[in-house]
Amino acid sequence: MKIRIAIIIERADIVLGGAERSILELATTLSGVGFDVSILAAKGQTNARNIHILCPGRYWKRTNYFTLSKAVRRHLAANEYDIVHSVLPFGFADVYQPRGGTYRQAILQNAASYRSSLVRFYKRATAFANWRRTILLEAERKLCKRPDGPVIAALSKYVARQFRENYNVDSERLFVIPNGIRLNSRVDSTASDRLRSQILYKLGLKEADEPVLFLFVANNFRLKGLSVLIDALAAARNKFDSRKAYLVVAGNGKSYKYRLKARKMGVHKKIIYLGHARHIQNVLSITDVSILPTFYDPSSRFILESLSAGKPVITTRFNGAIDMFEDGRHGIVVDRPENIRALAEAICYFTKEENLRQAREAIQADNLKEQISIRRAAKQLAGLYETVLEKKGK
Stated pTM of the model? 0.92
Question: Could you tell me the end-to-end alpha-carbon distance of the chain, in angstroms, rounded to an integer?
Answer: 13
Q: How far is CA 336 from CA 47, 201, 216, 302, in A?
A: 43, 34, 17, 19
* Residue 354 per-residue DSSP state: H
Residue 200 is predicted with a pLDDT of 96
Question: Could you list the pLDDT tens digit for every one of the 394 residues in the chain?
Answer: 789 999 999 887 755 556 677 888 888 899 988 899 999 998 887 777 889 999 887 666 788 999 999 999 999 999 999 999 999 999 999 999 998 899 899 888 988 898 888 888 788 777 777 788 899 999 999 999 988 899 999 999 999 999 999 999 998 899 999 999 988 768 889 999 999 999 999 999 999 999 999 999 999 999 999 999 999 999 998 776 678 999 999 999 899 999 999 999 999 999 999 998 888 999 999 999 999 999 999 999 999 999 999 999 999 999 999 999 999 999 999 999 999 999 999 999 999 999 999 999 999 999 999 899 999 999 999 999 999 999 887 6
Give the number of other CB atoms < 10 A from CB of residue 225.
Answer: 30
Residue 204 is predicted with a pLDDT of 94
Residue 35 is predicted with a pLDDT of 93
Domains and CATH numbers, the chain: 4-182+374-391 (3.40.50.2000), 189-372 (3.40.50.2000)
Residue 199 is predicted with a pLDDT of 95
If residue 19 lies in a helix (H) or strand (E), which one and from where to where?
helix 18-32
Residue 14 is predicted with a pLDDT of 55
Residue 117 is predicted with a pLDDT of 84
From CA 24, how far away is CA 262, in angstroms rounded? 38
